[in-house]
Amino acid sequence: MDALIWNIRSVNTQQAFEMLIKSHRKNHYEFIGLMELMQQARTLEKYRNRIGFAQVIANVSNKIWAFIDEVYEVTVMYNLVQQLTLRLYHSETHVEFVLILVYAKCDAIERIELWDSLYYMASDMTIPWLVGGDFNVIWDEEEKIGGLLVHLNEIDDFRHSINTCNLSDLGFKGSIFTWSNGRAEEDCIFKRLDRCVANAEFQQIFPGIEVQHLAKIGSDHSPMQLRCDIKKPPVKKPFRFLNFLVEHASFKEVVKQNWNADFSANPYVLFNHKLKKVKKALSGWSKSTYGDIFQKIASLEEVVIVHEAEFEANPTKQNRQRLQNVQAELIRYLALEEKYWKQKSGMS
């Protein structure tokens, strides 16, 4: 099972949407849970089509959207302001579990309603269940840097809710902090607001499940990627002409330099020779100019995570600028990838 849970902070943000599409195409998620989309409910079907899922459900406050693969039979159990609870039955493996997507209120008093609802469901829960999303509260003081003092009573309420529900944190790979205010030096704040918790039964049916905090692109929150299998490495493919190559300033010069032939022959042979010569030149030029865009994106994602860690450890203006520079480079390659997929699908 591969899945993504993310407080995307507006699905309409170009960088965030490109990141979402890229991740789904690469990993083929069985479900995606998004929070704080800042979109009207009438756009739900449009985004379902664009992302490529068979099913989509929004909660009553329109703050949580769940995109579900067609392999699942879905039953809505609870549709509340701060959470959406779905019962998922996998039609091929016959595995059944409960998925609860959370977008908690910022106010501690209002969050009590969420904690109470989880406790109420836990008393009646007889199958594996997973709870994931933005809880808007930290577990302990180690999960926060900067800002105002931590309110211990808020932490206690959260801990009591999770413990009484017999849920445990699934852990994570990557940075401990899933949210930052993006500021530098003494104004910076980092928190771990997003997490996935589950009961023992869920961890038994998905024993190898891992949660990875991905790079923050287009949102101030990290996407949480859930995986429990190993993907095969990508297969190398031969050179294919990509339309976005013509947008580069040196493209015409590469073609011009390699179009001339240094011998005489009939027009057909000459034309065929020129095409092969240009193709070979463009293949080498493309590799040196762009490289493998998929490998480049994977590499840049790792670099972004490293710079995020450096900024978290030492939030100077210089480290923030380095982080923003590599984020901009990743966004540029995500845009190129989007053009690649549009060309492959025949879209203009």
* 265 domain residue, yes or no: yes
Q: Is 168 exposed, middle or buried (0-12, 13-18, 19+ CB in 10 A)?
A: middle
Does 200 share its domain with 315? no
pLDDT band at residue 265 using 50, 70 and 90 as cut-offs = low
* 232 domain residue, yes or no: no
Residue 337 confidence (pLDDT) above 60? yes
pLDDT band at residue 264 using 50, 70 and 90 as cut-offs = low
pLDDT band at residue 268 using 50, 70 and 90 as cut-offs = low
Predicted pLDDT at 58: 96
166-194 pLDDT per residue, tens: 999 999 999 999 999 888 888 899 999 99
Range of lowest pLDDT (13-17, 28-32, 112-116, 290-294):
290-294
Predicted pLDDT at 73: 96
Does 258 share its domain with 117? no
* 236 domain residue, yes or no: no
Range of lowest pLDDT (7-11, 205-209, 308-312):
7-11
Q: What angle do CA 266, 270, 276 make, to 5 degrees?
A: 150
Does 156 share its domain with 268? no
Helix, strand and coil content of the chain, in percent to the nearest 5, comes to 45, 20, 35
How far CA 195 is from CA of 159, 165, 180, 310, in Å, comes to: 13, 16, 15, 22
Cα separation, 156 vs 27, in Å, equals 36
Does 251 share its domain with 265? yes
Please name the residue ranges forming H helices in the chain.
Answer: 14-27, 44-51, 108-122, 152-164, 200-205, 251-259, 267-289, 293-313, 317-345
Q: Which residues contact 153 (CB under 8 A, 6 or more apart)?
A: 108
How many structural domains is the chain composed of?
A: 3
- In this structure, which amino acid lies at residue 273? H
* 56 domain residue, yes or no: yes
What pairs with residue 213 in β-bridges? 224
Does 220 share its domain with 80? yes
Predicted pLDDT at 331: 87
Does 319 share its domain with 280? no
17 and 11 Cβ atoms separated by less than 8 Å: yes
pTM, to two decimals: 0.72
Predicted pLDDT at 245: 76
* 277 domain residue, yes or no: yes
Does 24 share its domain with 150? yes
Predicted pLDDT at 138: 96
Q: Which residue has the higher pLDDT, 80 or 297?
A: 80
Predicted pLDDT at 346: 63
Torsions phi, psi of 292, nearest 5?
-80, 110
Cα separation, 251 vs 242, in Å, equals 12
- List the structure tokens of 304: 């972004």
pLDDT band at residue 284 using 50, 70 and 90 as cut-offs = confident
How far CA 236 is from CA of 79, 91, 233, 293, 336, in Å, comes to: 45, 33, 9, 12, 18
For the chain, report the end-to-end CA distance as a whole number of angstroms. Answer: 33
Does 264 share its domain with 117? no
Q: What is the CATH number of the domain that holds 91?
A: 3.60.10.10
Please identify which residue in the block is written with the tokens 């904690």. 115
Residue 234 confidence (pLDDT) above 60? no
How far CA 271 is from CA of 175, 191, 249, 277, 346, in Å, comes to: 55, 62, 25, 10, 27
Does 212 share its domain with 131? yes
Helices 293-313 and 317-345, packing angle to 10 deg = 160
- Mode of pairing for the β-strands spanning 3-7 and 31-35: parallel
pLDDT band at residue 143 using 50, 70 and 90 as cut-offs = very high
Of 41, 74, 42, nearest to 60 (Cα)?
41
pLDDT band at residue 336 using 50, 70 and 90 as cut-offs = confident
Please identify which residue in the block is written with the tokens 């059944």. 96
Does 185 share its domain with 275? no
What pairs with residue 68 in β-bridges? 31, 55
Does 270 share its domain with 302? no
Residue 61 confidence (pLDDT) above 60? yes
- List the structure tokens of 289: 């100019």
Does 264 share its domain with 317? no
Predicted pLDDT at 231: 40
Range of lowest pLDDT (4-13, 100-109, 204-213):
4-13
Of 189, 278, 292, 195, nearest to 237 (Cα)?
292
- Domain with 283 in it: 243-290
